[in-house]
Structure 1
């Protein structure tokens, strides 16, 4: 877990790894391979990723619509209506 926290993985990735390791360690305790659960008390940390919205430049919209019209009329209708 410390390795994942230092590498900048997202919190969800850390949660998935923690869940898998927790279940594996529980099974090892049940099978008698381990005496205690090493994942007990581990904290899940992670970085929240900020998603940045990217907009299409208004200069390229006519070119985009022209290419959409040439390739597939149905897509052109959809994009034209969205603009």
Structure 2
């Protein structure tokens, strides 16, 4: 039982007290990580902008179709045909 506690304390001590890292991460990996991070942030921002702009685009498209000739707008000739 005492051996378990000694092993556990050594494991815990080795993980909580970091020593000198024997690895090198070059600038390419850091720049790649940074580029991927910004790509995710920009894509989420674009998604939010497109979702917010969707109702406005529909509204402008419906207004443009309503003002176009022959697009279902009411003019005098149509009203006269309906009355006759």
Higher relative contact order (CA 8 A, sep 6+): 1
Give the TM-score normalised by the residue count of structure 1.
Answer: 0.27
Q: TM-score, normalised by structure 2?
A: 0.26
